[in-house]
Amino acid sequence: MIVDVISGNPLQYESQVLALGCFEDDRSALLIPELNEVLGGLIERLYIQGEFTGGLNKTTFIHSLGNLPSERILLVGLGQKDALTCDRLRQVAGTVVQLARAKGITEVASMIHLQAGTMEEGVAATIEGAMLANYSFNRYRTKKKGENPIERFSIFAPGPDHVPLYEKAVTETRIISEAVLFARDMVSQPSNVVTPPFLAEEGIEMADVFGLGCRIIEQEEMEQLGMDALLAVSRGSRQPPKLIVLEHLPNRGERPVVLVGKGVTFDSGGISLKPRDGMEMMKTDMAGAAAVMATLRTVAALRLPLNVVGIIPAVENLPGGSAYKPGDVLCSMSGQTIEIVNTDAEGRLILCDAMWYARRYEPRAIIDIATLTGACTVALGTVATGLLGNDMDLKHLLSQAGEATGERVWELPLWEEYGELMKSDIADMKNAGGATAGTISAGWFLLQFVGDTSWAHLDIAGTAWEEKGRAYVPKGASGVGVRLLVEYLRSRC
Ligand code: BES
Ligand code: MN
Ligand code: ZN
Spatial neighbors of 271 by CB under 8 A, at least 6 apart, are: 236, 319, 323, 324, 325, 326, 343
Same domain assignment for residues 148 and 191: no
Q: Which residue range forms the structural domain that includes residue 366?
A: 180-491
Contact 87 CB / ligand 1 (< 6 Å) = no
* DSSP assignment of 171-238: HHHHHHHHHHHHHHHHHHS-TTTS-HHHHHHHHHHHHHHHT-EEEEE-HHHHHHHT-HHHHHHHTTSS
Within this chain, do residues 13 and 152 fall inside the same structural domain, yes or no?
A: yes
Confidence category of residue 326, pLDDT binned at 50, 70, 90: very high
For position 116, what pLDDT does the model report? 74
Query: Is the distance from CB of 126 to CB of 174 less than 8 angstroms?
Result: no
Q: How far is the CA of 465 from the centre of ligand 1 (A)?
A: 14
CA distance 316 to 312: 13
Q: Are 251 and 305 in contact (CB under 8 A)?
A: yes
pLDDT, tens digit, for every residue of 113-168? 877 778 899 999 999 999 999 999 999 999 877 689 999 999 999 899 999 999 99
- Residue 456, domain member (yes or no): yes
| 375 Cβ below 6 A of ligand 1 | yes
- Would 175 be classed as within a structural domain? no
Residues 382 and 428 in one domain: yes
Last residue of a domain, one of 126, 158, 190: 158
Q: What is the pLDDT of residue 438?
A: 98
**Does residue 431 have its Cβ closer than 6 Å to ligand 1?**
no
Q: Are strands 385-389 and 455-459 parallel, antiparallel or unpaired?
A: antiparallel
Number of structural domains in the chain: 2
Strand order in the sheet with 429-430: 329-331, 337-339, 429-430
Nearest alpha carbon, ligand 1 atom 14 = 373
Question: pLDDT by residue (tens digit) across 15-50?
Answer: 999 999 999 998 887 788 999 999 999 999 999 999
The verdict on 143 and 211 lying in the same domain is no
Model's pTM, two decimal places? 0.98
> How far apart, in whole angstroms, are the C-alpha atoms of residue 435 and residue 375?
9
Q: From 373, 459, 463, give the residue whose CB has the most ligand 1 atoms within 8 Å, as the site to mutate.
A: 373
Name the residue at shortest CA distance from atom 7 of ligand 1. 374
> Is residue 166 situated within a structural domain?
no
Q: Evaluate whether residue 163 is within a structural domain.
A: no
Angle between helices 438-447 and 347-358 (to 10 degrees): 30
- Indicate whether residue 461 lines ligand 1 (CB < 6 A): yes
Whether 376 and 468 share a structural domain:
yes
CB 317 within 8 A of CB 241: no
% residues pLDDT > 90 (the chain): 95
Same domain, 31 and 101: yes
Nearest CA to ligand 1 atom 13: 344
Tens digit of pLDDT for each residue in 88-113?
A: 999 999 999 999 999 999 999 999 98
- Pocket of ligand 1 contains residue 459 by CB under 6 Å: no
Distance between CA atoms of 155 and 42, rounded to whole angstroms? Answer: 24
Amino acid at 482: V
Q: Ligand 3 centroid vs 485 CA: distance in angstroms?
A: 21
Does residue 460 have its Cβ closer than 6 Å to ligand 1?
no
Residue among 155, 50, 38, 33 at smallest CA distance from 92:
155
Mutation probe of ligand 1 site: the residue of 272, 279, 372, 430 with most atoms within 8 A of C-beta? 372
Q: How far is 98 from 23, CA to CA, in rounded Å?
A: 20
CATH of the domain at 43: 3.40.220.10
Amino acid at 84: L
Same domain (yes/no): 131, 235: no
Residues 40, 36: Cα–Cα separation, whole Å: 6
Q: Looking at the domain assignment, is residue 409 inside a domain?
A: yes
- Is pLDDT of 336 > 70? yes
Among residues 127, 158, 189, the one where a domain terminates is 158
Query: Which residues have a catalytic role annotated?
Result: 274, 348
Amino acid sitting at position 375: A
Q: Residue 297: in which H helix or E strand, if any?
A: helix 287-301
Q: Are residue 19 and residue 119 in the same domain, yes or no?
A: yes
